Chains A and B, each alone.
Chain A
Amino acid sequence: MIVTLPSSCPDGRTLDAESRVWLTRLRAADRDRAVGELHGLLMGAARHEVNRRSRSLPPGSGVDLDDLARQSADDALLAILRKLDDFRGDSRFTTWAYKFALLEAGVKMRRRAWQDREVALDDDAWLRIADRVGTPDQDAETRELLRAIGVAIETSLTPHQRTVLVAITLDDVPIDVLAERMNTNRGAIYKALHDARRKLRAELAAGGHVR
């Protein structure tokens, strides 16, 4: 079968030779072999990632790491094939593809690590910041800043913003875990965190605590 090698992305950017071959093979009618090879690469990345993160799992969790890597590679492959036309050639094709596998593996491992852990979605938990105000080794500036942050959290943030801020910054809940528990996604959770931080900064600036 004769195929025409695309020399550039839709926006005219030039592709490196290896990326061009990948795109051509994956767009061909008989792409099964290329898809299989790509899945193999994704499996390698996903296996590496789940093994690297395996220490985050609780002892005796019984997680089948190879199965989790396979699920990650499968999900990544579907996303890549769906978004093939979005590849702009800003990086090598394989680098672009690996990020999907590593994301899937990372999210799955974070969620497994927290599977049996309670996430306290309590917007009053920020009151713990008050407990840190006035510890013996604290300088006056830090003490005042913490006090002002506590006030700003109480007066400026919505309950949802307080919950997200506390879970991520005080309780170290991974964003992807919090997103799952709140039935939303990473981007929405980070947007809430970003908005909360922006409000805090504005309040602190108004009070002369930060520039």
Chain B
Amino acid sequence: MTDDRVLIARLLGPSELELSCEACFEEIDRYVEAQLGGDDADLLVPGMAAHLEGCPACREDRDSLAGWLRVA
């Protein structure tokens, strides 16, 4: 993707319905465990994938939790 396309994607965000940051925090532990367990996390928590695409802070939190669970 070109820089312009990346910028457009950031400006417009996800087109799908998405969770709020509060709902994301509520569900992130279940979502990450499902991902690490090989389950269909996006089916389990609808709206999470779109939110993580649109919210850099929650995306980082997801990555942090997944990374920590791999080494803890």
Query: Which residues on A are within 8 Å of B, measured CB to CB?
Result: 44-45, 48-49, 52, 90-92, 94-96, 98-99, 102-103, 105-106, 110, 129, 132, 135, 137-138, 142, 145-146, 149, 165, 168-170, 174-176, 186-187, 190-191, 193-194, 197, 200-201, 204, 210
Flag if A102 contacts B4 (CB, 8 Å): no
Q: State whether A176 and B11 are in contact (beta carbons under 8 Å apart), knowing that A91-B29, A91-B30 are contacts in the complex.
A: no
Flag if A92 contacts B33 (CB, 8 Å): yes
Q: Which of B7, B12, B18, B65 contacts A99 (CB under 8 A)? A: B65
Q: Which residues does chain A contribute within 8 Å of B67, judged by CB atoms?
A: 52
CB distance from B12 to the nearest CB of A (A): 6
Complex: how many Å from CA A145 to CA B4? Answer: 10
Chain A residue at smallest Cβ distance from B18: A194
Interchain residue pairs with CB less than 8 A apart (14): A92-B33, A94-B72, A95-B69, A98-B65, A99-B25, A103-B25, A106-B61, A110-B57, A146-B4, A169-B10, A187-B20, A190-B55, A193-B54, A210-B12
Chain A residue at smallest Cβ distance from B36: A95
Q: Which residues does chain A contribute within 8 Å of B29, judged by CB atoms?
A: 90-92, 95-96, 98-99
Q: Which of B11, B28, B32, B69 contacts A169 (CB under 8 A)? A: B11
Flag if B4 contacts A142 (CB, 8 Å): yes
Q: Which residues does chain B contribute within 8 Å of A201, judged by CB atoms?
A: 12, 15
CB distance from A150 to the nearest CB of B (A): 10
Query: Which residues on B are within 8 Å of A, measured CB to CB?
Result: 2, 4-5, 7-8, 10-13, 15, 18, 20-22, 25, 27-30, 32-33, 54-57, 60-61, 64-65, 67-69, 71-72
Secondary structure class of chain A's binding surface, majority of residues: helix
Flag if B64 contacts A186 (CB, 8 Å): no
Flag if B61 contacts A197 (CB, 8 Å): no
Q: State whether A138 and B61 are in contact (beta carbons under 8 Å apart), knowing that A45-B72, A95-B29 are contacts in the complex.
A: no
CB distance from A85 to the nearest CB of B (A): 14
Q: Which residues does chain A contribute within 8 Å of B32, judged by CB atoms?
A: 91, 95
Q: Which residues does chain B contribute within 8 Å of A48, judged by CB atoms?
A: 68, 71
Q: Which residues does chain B contribute within 8 Å of A45, judged by CB atoms?
A: 68, 72
Q: Which residues does chain A contribute within 8 Å of B68, judged by CB atoms?
A: 45, 48-49, 98, 102
Q: Which residues does chain B contribute within 8 Å of A132, judged by CB atoms?
A: 4, 7
Q: Which residues does chain B contribute within 8 Å of A44, judged by CB atoms?
A: 72
Q: Which residues does chain A contribute within 8 Å of B60, judged by CB atoms?
A: 106
Complex: how many Å from CA A95 to CA B70? Answer: 11
Complex: how many Å from CA A42 to CA B55? Answer: 25
CB distance from B23 to the nearest CB of A (A): 9
